[in-house]
Structure 1
Amino acid sequence: MRPVRIGVQLAPQRASYADIRRAAAEVEALGADILFTWDHFLPLGKVADGKHFEGWSILGAWAEQTSRIELGVLVSCNSYRNPDLLADMARTVDHISGGRVVFGIGAGFKEREFLEYGYEFPSAGRRVAELAAALPRISARLAVLNPSPVRKLPILIAGGGEQKMLRVVARHADIWNTFAEGEDFARKTALLDQYCAELGRNPLEIERSVHVGGDPRLSGPELLDAGATLFTLSTSGPDYNLDTARQWITWRDSQN
């Protein structure tokens, strides 16, 4: 069985970079397994204005700042960058970090930021199809870059669409990330297993990642029984409260 792992996503919003840097250092010191940022251009939530920073630039800085923790963008929007360029960016940050990058990618969903930055906002079906087409390009580019990544980059794909996205996950992902919980998570993970079987792939090759909060003793065991092993908490600036992360890290240690 996979070990339980804890991810912490520091949303790069409503904070100075000094606040973000301090929180990143604290997350690593707490013993979390993965430190995530995100790939948005504007703050999320009811107030869509305020301080905000770009995710991949932050990831490069974290690669220099940290020494142990894995790093990733949860997740890069496929539509925002040429797939070959994105592969090169990830490979470069992987070298800066000494081989700690988790390559997170998804189809994107925030119409406002697409339009604000001059990108076309296609249908959800087309965005997923473009992601499916981009992933082989990313793999091909990673294979020819000189130097190659320090390690085989784990591909994390986020999304829960049961007819299209989970098929992309089954074919390409090392980690599947979802907001699903309870019966919804159990149904989706069973469907992912089915799609893996259709491809002749062992479903155990794909780590299951979920977003969590609150008391881990209440939701953790059920999610763990359903197959989740990577549990990610998100916190925003300016305060970056890590109290819940501490609880989940303690719970992780009791499980491992």
Structure 2
Amino acid sequence: MRRAWREAEELGVDTIFTWDHFYPLYGEPEGKHFEALTTLASMAEVTEHAQIGALVICNSYRNPELLADAHRTIDHISGGRVILGIGAGWFEKDYDEYGYEFGDAPARLRALKRDLPRIRERLGKLNPPPVGEMPILIGGSGEKVTLRLVAEHANLWHGFGDAATFAKKNEILLGHCDAVGRNPGEIERTWGIQADALDSADDLLAAGVDHLIVGLGGDGKGYDLGAVRELVQWRDGANGRASSAA
């Protein structure tokens, strides 16, 4: 994993993320796996330039004040590069195996709504404070609650799907921003893309996505960063075209 993070930095990526699960989501259900926050602390040590975070931390697994404090500490280790990515949670096996109450989606969303202000309040009390501004990323596309929370609290919003899906969800987000008096330009749109779907990048960019994130899996021996290399090359080309047009 450390080799892959370093290689990704050498390729010039903007961000590197882990996830927050206790078991693999695919492959061997009981396969090798590590906890997210300690993994993120290691990532902070061995990288120098990319922003880092979890895509996304499950709000259910940790007290919100502790979550804020842990991210603040990792932010200092990284020199101010941490993104606090968070979501309401969904992977039932994690909950069952580690003794958390799974409940239902509305209850988990209510908990996220309750805890986001607590996280911000704790970040404001910590001594020393975070090095950077520590942007908050909210993952999810639920139209009534999640996107409302994005409008109220997020610096970045993350989702998945094709360009049409993004456009639909983004329109709903714009409506929530209008309702709460938020400038939607303050929210960076990040979007997940699969390694075999990089040909959709142009359509997503045209639809309004700001930041594409490609997901990779390892086999226990290493990671193939070919898709990362290809996406970085596409990014640099797209940025060059935008500069020429300007």
Interval containing the TM-score (normalised by the shorter chain): over 0.9
* Helix, strand or coil at the partner of 1:212: strand
* Helix, strand or coil at the partner of 2:53: strand
Contact (CA 8 Å) 1:78, 1:108: kept in 2 or not? Answer: yes
CA root-mean-square deviation: 1.0
Q: Is 1:249 equivalent to 2:232 in the alignment?
A: yes
Q: Partner residue of 1:5?
A: none
- TM-score of the superposed pair, with normalisation by structure 1: 0.90
Q: Pick from 116, 124, 129: which aligns with 1:135?
A: 116
Q: Pick from 153, 160, 163: which aligns with 1:182?
A: 163
- Name the aligned partner's letter for residue 40 of structure 1: H
Q: Is 1:103 equivalent to 2:84 in the alignment?
A: yes
In 1: Cα distance, 2:67 partner to 2:197 partner: 36
In structure 1, stretches of 5+ residues that fail to align are 1-19
Calculate percent identity across the aligned residue pairs. 49
In 2: Cα distance, 1:56 partner to 1:128 partner: 22
Q: Partner residue of 1:240?
A: 223
Q: Partner residue of 1:35?
A: 16
Listed one character per residue, the Cα deviations across residues 124-181 of structure 1 (whole Å, up to 9, x for unaligned) are: 0110110011000000000010000001111000001111111011100100000132
Contact (CA 8 Å) 1:99, 1:149: kept in 2 or not? Answer: yes
- Name the aligned partner's letter for residue 164 of structure 2: E
Q: Partner residue of 1:64?
A: 45
Listed one character per residue, the Cα deviations across residues 5-54 of structure 1 (whole Å, up to 9, x for unaligned) are: xxxxxxxxxxxxxxx11111111111111010010000111531211011
Contact (CA 8 Å) 1:71, 1:102: kept in 2 or not? Answer: yes
Matched ranges for 1:114-125 at <5 A: 114-125=95-106
Displacement of 1:215: 5.5
Displacement of 1:220: 1.2
Q: Partner residue of 1:199?
A: 180
Listed one character per residue, the Cα deviations across residues 194-238 of structure 1 (whole Å, up to 9, x for unaligned) are: 10011111111111111113353x311111111101101111112
* Helix, strand or coil at the partner of 1:72: strand
Q: Pick from 139, 150, 161: which aligns with 1:158?
A: 139
Q: Partner residue of 1:113?
A: 94
- Runs of 4+, deviation exceeding 2 Å: 213-216
In structure 2, stretches of 5+ residues that fail to align are 240-246
- TM-score of the superposed pair, with normalisation by structure 2: 0.94
Q: Pick from 198, 212, 218: which aligns with 1:231?
A: 212
Q: Which structure has the highest helix share of the two?
A: 2
- Name the aligned partner's letter for residue 253 of structure 1: D
In 2: Cα distance, 1:215 partner to 1:186 partner: 18
- Name the aligned partner's letter for residue 244 of structure 1: A
In 1: Cα distance, 2:159 partner to 2:138 partner: 9
Q: Partner residue of 2:242?
A: none
